Chains A and B, each alone.
Chain A
Amino acid sequence: MTPQFDEIWVYLSASPLLGLTITLLAYQAAFWLYRRSGMNPLANPVLIAVTILVLLLTLTATSYETYFSGAQFVHFLLGPATVALAIPLYTQFSRVRALLLPVVAGLVAGSLTAALSAIAVARLFGASLPTQLSLAPKSVTTPIAMGIAERIGGIPSLTAVLVIVTGILGAVGARWIFDAMKLRDPAIRGFAIGVASHGIGTARAFQVSEQAGAFAALAMGLNGALTALLLPLLVGWMH
């Protein structure tokens, strides 16, 4: 390589341009694979893109902070995208209203199961207390989950990662679980995936059907609000 390449690299590695560009490239590569696999849930695009990026950053010895100074522009769009979920919700609202009781009952049962079973299993297998508390809000969408973790004594940035892994697990596994349960209703499938695995589950649900997506979006919003209210109280009682 010419000596100039070093200078270019020094410039690029400190500018936000590179972090943003590799995020989009990695995602497009991941999405292409996902398409090629016939949208097989195992080829989850978030999982593949994150794997590519972690390998790339590790190989080039780039810090996450440097990377994030560029990637934050993508991260920022989570806010307006969350607001935009109101539109499919509105389109599907007649079905949501007809299913009010199942929705409320499923929400409360699912929300409690998500938080309590995560803590219980982690405790059973000897995870440290900060890890247990970081796990508790793992089914809730990232910004809410990080806020909850901070309030109850978990580690917010660890929670962010556990939230993403939970989302991927749900998006990958839901189809087989629901098929095994012989469950076809897209409203139930969507709602359950939204409670268990928030936005990543919702993204997957939208790729399957708009109705499933709308129920997943509803579940994600409701579960975020409910967990934010309940979990600090539950953890208070456990101490």
Chain B
Amino acid sequence: MNAGNSATPLGKVRGLGPAGNVGHHWLEERLISVAILLLSLWLIFSLMMLPSLDRHTLAEWLRAPAGAVPMALFVITAFRHGLDGMKVVVDDYVHDDGTRIGLHIVLTMVAIGGAALALFALAKIAFGVPA
């Protein structure tokens, strides 16, 4: 992080954004946005194309690599994108640094926990004994 004692205006502000490395963070957010754009379209069209939404059909779909792999990517990307968004909301409305960082930690834990649970369930479907 820059101490802000540079001679040029750009040098003074460089590295002083809320996330420190803001350029990289910004680009990463956009990359994840494009990923969730594609993966969510895959999910919604897959659900519309399936002949039925009963458990057997869904389990067969998620047992095949063409179902399980994009679904795993969707779960990871959706939780990450949701976490990024909730952090932005917290950053905008919570001005106390302690509360803000505390909320970031809680949100991160909930997101990782939720994603782990969803991925475990998916693995159980994909690698489990056919019902």
Whether chain B is bound by chain A comes out as no
- Interface residues of chain A, those whose CB is within 8 Å of chain B, are none
